[in-house]
Amino acid sequence: MTPSRRTTVAAVALAVAVVLPTSAWYLTGSADAASRARLLEDTAVAGLQSELHRDADRLAIRLERLLAIESERPFFHYQSITHDPGGAAEGLAVAPSPLARGVSDPLVWAHFQLDEAGLVSLPTVNERFPELSSGESFARFCSLLADLQNAMVMDLDGNGGGPGGNGGQVVVLRRGEWEQIRDADQVYAAITGRGERPADRRSNGAGEVVIRVGALAWHTMVFGSGPTLAALREVDTPLGIRLQGFAVAPSGVEQWLGGDARVEVAFTPAELLPPDRLSSPVADTGWWLSADVGPLVERARAEGRAAVAQFRRVFALGAAAALLSALAVMAVVVQTERLARQRGRFAAAAAHELKTPLASLRLHSEMLSEGLGRPDRAAEYAARVAAESGRLGRVVANMLDLARLERGAQIADPRPGDIGAAVRLCLERLRPSLTGAGLELDLSVDGELPTTLFDPDALCQILDNLLDNAEKYTRDRPGRGAEVSVRATGDGVEIAVADNGPGIAAAARRILFEPFRRPAGDDAPAGLGLGLALARSLARAQGGELELADGSGEGARFVLTLHRG
């Protein structure tokens, strides 16, 4: 399988390994987040419904207790002025009813009575004696009389809730006690001088009077201001039927519930119950507790949207991490393939680099050992052997230095010294092989050079690699030559190596100092692609730098800068 095919297969495998799990994660996670959002809504609705049921049960118990307490109330308490047969002495005795001071239970709006004559009265006010109550209460009472009477008459015809759970009672009174209860208003008028006491209607109290008090039952009464829950009972007297009871204020119920309810709760009769609200019946009153679920659902939806958004943020981070990991693995695969290709090219180049000088060494050494060739050119053959040996040594040295660089070992030991003398000595060692290869070498050194920090062996290896490149790239040029110049600068010394070759293309400058990277083209000389990379590494190991100078015309010019010692 070719390297490009292996890279493609690896890319496809990575894509599948990343896309499939992340897609499955997104689908399942989105479904889970949406399910949790729906669960939040359902939980909110179920919680509110359960809360309404609990509140309805609490209210039912509260109303049942109130109904039981009111069922024990004597029928004569519903008059503002009355006679108490259990606590009064013999003779004339009337007093304000205990209800004349107003209601004591927060759920009760008012107590009322429809007497045998069809007159409606409240114990807190008296139509005949307005001075017994405040003007505000009296005015309010008068304004509600018509509505109250009509509503009670309507309920007597059978409208309203079912019967209560409290049984009636039978009250047996002496006739005199009954007459004082019956004529309490007239007795008060006679005492206060507001009217005459009807003596002809009084008796000596002989005989008994039986009063039958029915059970309180829940009814819905409609006033001009709206429906009201009321508990009503019949009182059978010798004069006829009285209706008594009390009204429950919906606002009082809602206020009583408001401290514990999470949302606003309404107390309404069944026929007025909104269809889009959660509701729960309050026992057998015919009334319901209801609440608008909209705000609660909207809050739950907001929490659900927040949960979905949180999942998407987590997914985005996770998917990005997975993608970056896949890209990193792909980069490693690509780098591995690139290194494999480089190793292949390196092995081929190394074989070529070693094969050529070895073949030349073998040829010329055999010619010398066997006396072949022209005897007068024996020195030339020996010089060729020496040049090829130096070439082999340079290849081996570059490979060893590359291994030392990869291990992180120190490749130079710079010390202060005479840079001019070191360059001359190095070129004297390199000149024979370069001259033998046909490259003319010129050297120019400034007269006064500062003491410079350098490593002689590293310096010579840099010059060797630079001049070896000059020899390779000027082989097809007439008048082949290279020039080495050494001059002082403000910070140290600058050593330049220039040749008259074809120069370096702009596209090749970017990869010039990278190992195993060589200019493209079939006409490029063979090589390992290590010379310039090792030369720069050796320059930097001495505290200096190696750069390609920007020049005009043909040829390449490399500049090595070293610092003062």
What pLDDT digit, counting tens, does each position of 211-268 carry?
999 999 999 887 766 788 999 999 999 999 999 999 998 888 888 887 555 678 889 9
* Residue labelled with tokens 């509140």: 55
pLDDT at 488: 93
Q: Confirm if 334 and 14 have CB atoms less than 8 A apart.
A: no
Integer Cα distance of 10 and 233 in angstroms? 91
Full DSSP string of 50-78: HHHHHHHHHHHHHHHHHHHHHHTS-GGGG
Supply the Cα-derived Rg of the chain in whole angstroms.
58
Q: Which two tokens stand for residue 519?
A: 């200019």
Integer Cα distance of 565 and 545 in angstroms? 15
Q: Confirm if 434 and 441 have CB atoms less than 8 A apart.
A: yes
Pinpoint the alpha helices (H) of 510-560. Answer: 531-541
Q: Which residues, given as ranges, of the chain have pLDDT below 70?
A: 1, 3, 88-92, 126-167, 191-206, 224-225, 259-262, 342, 344-357, 360, 364, 370-371, 373, 381, 384, 387-388, 391, 394-395, 398-399, 401-408, 516-529, 551-553
pLDDT at 85: 84
Full DSSP string of 194-219: SS---GGG-----SEEEEEEPPPEEE
Return the C-alpha torsion angle 481, 484, 485, 490, nearest 10.
130
Going along the chain from its start, the domains and CATH numbers come out as 3-54+295-348 (no CATH), 74-248 (no CATH), 412-563 (3.30.565.10)
Integer Cα distance of 7 and 330 in angstroms? 8
Q: Which two tokens stand for residue 73?
A: 């109330």
Q: Which two tokens stand for residue 413?
A: 């030991």
pLDDT at 490: 86
Closest among 19, 176, 183, 63 to 115, alpha carbons compared: 183
Q: What is the 3-state secondary structure (H, E, C) of 245-311?
A: EEEECHHHHHHHHHCCCCCCEEEEEHHHCCCCCEEEECCCCCEEEEECCHHHHHHHHHHHHHHHHHH
Cβ within 8 Å of residue 420, ≥6 positions away: 445, 446, 449, 486
Q: Confirm if 88 and 42 have CB atoms less than 8 A apart.
A: no
pLDDT tens figures, 490-537: 889 999 999 988 888 877 778 888 876 666 554 555 556 678 888 898
Chain centroid to Cα 359, Å, comes to 72
Closest among 285, 280, 289, 148 to 221, alpha carbons compared: 148
pLDDT at 438: 84
pLDDT at 226: 79
pLDDT at 445: 93
Return the C-alpha torsion angle 548, 552, 555, 559, nearest 10.
-30
Closest among 389, 411, 515 to 461, alpha carbons compared: 411
Return the C-alpha torsion angle 171, 173, 175, 181, nearest 10.
-80
